[in-house]
Structure 1
Amino acid sequence: MVEGRVRVQAARWVLVLGRVTTALLVVGAVGAALAAWGSWSAAPLLLTALSAGLAAGWHALLTAFERHGRGAWTALLAWSAADALARLGGALPGGGVGAPDLLGGLLDVVLLGLLLHPDSRDWVARPPGPASSRGGPVHSPGTAGMPHDHRRPHVQVTEELP
């Protein structure tokens, strides 16, 4: 609780729903690969490659968002809005929408709401906490390495020969 009100950790829920979406894309890729194997047709292989590429791209954006990337937040917002519109847009002119499209569209709408929540905007507005509180070396944003890198700094060992 902050200032007497309960804070919804929207950014954490974005990560959870994003991982569910990644898992669904991977399951779709595996299903398409099994269909290609069972039918001995090359057409499902294209769907396999597309689903695997989407899963990899989505996972990369989600990882960048987890590291407080503002650009990743914007890309996730645009991707979710476009996907929700594509999935649920068929219902507007009276076209039929199947159950998978309806569930996927609703997942995208929930993800949009969580991404637009002030907690998610605050998540990407601030950099990760200082490394000194975790006991590791302090990294400024301009130094090389990942912000959540917990490894020890590399030590070069030299041996003097007689």
Structure 2
Amino acid sequence: MKLMVKRLREGAVLPKRATEGSAGHDLYALLEEPVIVRPGGLVKIPTGLAISLPSSDYAAFVYARSGLAIKFGIAPSNCVGVIDSDYRGELIVGLTNHSAQPYTIQNGERIAQLIIAPVVLPEIEECDTLDETERGEGGFGSTGKM
């Protein structure tokens, strides 16, 4: 499979995998000047890139970079960004600062990771009953601590 990537502006960095075993391709900020993300703040960071997925059987997902999220509290504002197969606009990453300290994003900094995954589109059918399971209607945390 090939992911077609178009640079929209000079200086845009193509997505890269950090290691051979990396599931995601790092996305890089394309900024004219550094952006400060205040505690609890929201920012939109451009990448200068647009993509074309091979078909509607795939979608692209924007996930946090573990180090950025764990060390500095910087993670995607919507937890996981979904890029539909027919979207051709610029990839812009919304980020939130979950820490108590401001964080400055620099031009060229790795800000998120892009993962391509298959999409299953089920036919929706309304029903009056669902099959029974051992868990049943047990909610979040209903199966215990361990």
Bucket of the pairwise TM-score, normalised by the shorter protein: under 0.3
Structure of greater Rg: 1
If each structure's helix is expressed as a fraction of its own residues, which one has the higher value?
1
TM-score in terms of structure 1 length: 0.22
TM-score in terms of structure 2 length: 0.24
If each structure's strand is expressed as a fraction of its own residues, which one has the higher value?
2
